[in-house]
């Protein structure tokens, strides 16, 4: 009987943890989707503004910057389409809804009903195999947010990893936002001060 209780409680714990992590994954993917949509719009607006400026004030740095930014925008759009953030977020939502249903079903099962518990365990594995796994960041977010009394509470090393990853993600996104400005002034500086390309 004790073994049956342990099996059920362990499975409940696993399903609960996985559900929470998949919720974090879905939220992260949704945020990434919104960011890349914003980035595509932002780059397009920057290109339009630069094109208008180029009509009234032609120059090699304007033309070259337009080419570089056009390539960058194309790359971002291709990368965004390849990542399928929206579809992946939707898949994660469906998974954590299924996990929630499995969790509720398992709670109603008698601890002595091993066959039914094992069936739920099999269903749990099937659900997991239907979609990508959550990453380390999603699990660290889960650990950071749960009750501090829980044995799964995040360690100090985990906190360092979590905020290190958060800073890295912020740095990457911030770099992509300021990239058009960096490209513009870098090209301008090279052409005007080092004569890398002939000026008109």
Query: Could you report the per-residue pLDDT of 77-122, keeping only the tens digit for each?
Result: 888 888 899 999 999 999 999 999 999 999 998 888 888 999 999 9
Rg (CA), the chain: 25
pLDDT level of residue 3 (50, 70, 90 thresholds): low
Tokens in use for 146? 């749960």
> Is this model's pTM higher than 0.85 or not?
no
pLDDT at position 199 is 47
Dist CA 18 CA 114 (whole Å) = 22
pLDDT at position 180 is 86
**Residue 134: pLDDT above 60?**
yes
C-alpha count within 13 angstroms, C-beta hemisphere, residue 165: 13
Dist CA 100 CA 105 (whole Å) = 9
Dist CA 132 CA 189 (whole Å) = 45
Spatial neighbors of 139 by CB under 8 A, at least 6 apart, are 21, 24
Dist CA 124 CA 102 (whole Å) = 7
**Residue 5: pLDDT above 90?**
no
Q: Averaged over 9-27, what is the pLDDT?
A: 93
CB-count burial class (<10 Å; 0-12, 13-18, 19+) for 26: buried
């Amino acid at each position: 009987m004790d073994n049956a209780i342990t099996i059920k409680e362990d499975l409940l714990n696993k399903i609960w943890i996985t559900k929470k992590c998949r919720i974090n994954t879905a939220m992260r993917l949704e945020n990434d989707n919104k960011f890349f949509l914003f980035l595509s719009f932002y780059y397009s607006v920057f290109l339009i503004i630069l094109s208008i400026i180029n009509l009234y004030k032609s120059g090699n740095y304007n033309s070259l910057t337009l080419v570089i930014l056009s390539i960058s925008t194309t790359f971002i759009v291709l990368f965004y389409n390849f990542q399928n953030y929206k579809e992946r977020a939707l898949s994660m939502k469906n998974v954590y809804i299924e996990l929630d249903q499995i969790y509720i079903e398992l709670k109603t099962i008698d601890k002595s009903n091993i066959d039914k518990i094992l069936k739920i365990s099999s269903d749990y594995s099937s659900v997991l195999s239907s979609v990508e796994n959550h990453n380390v960041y999603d699990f660290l977010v889960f650990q950071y947010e749960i009750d501090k009394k829980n044995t799964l509470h995040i360690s100090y090393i985990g906190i360092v990893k979590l905020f290190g990853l958060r800073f890295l993600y912020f740095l990457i996104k911030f770099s992509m936002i300021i990239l058009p400005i960096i490209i513009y002034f870098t090209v301008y500086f090279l052409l005007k001060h080092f004569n890398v390309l002939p000026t008109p």
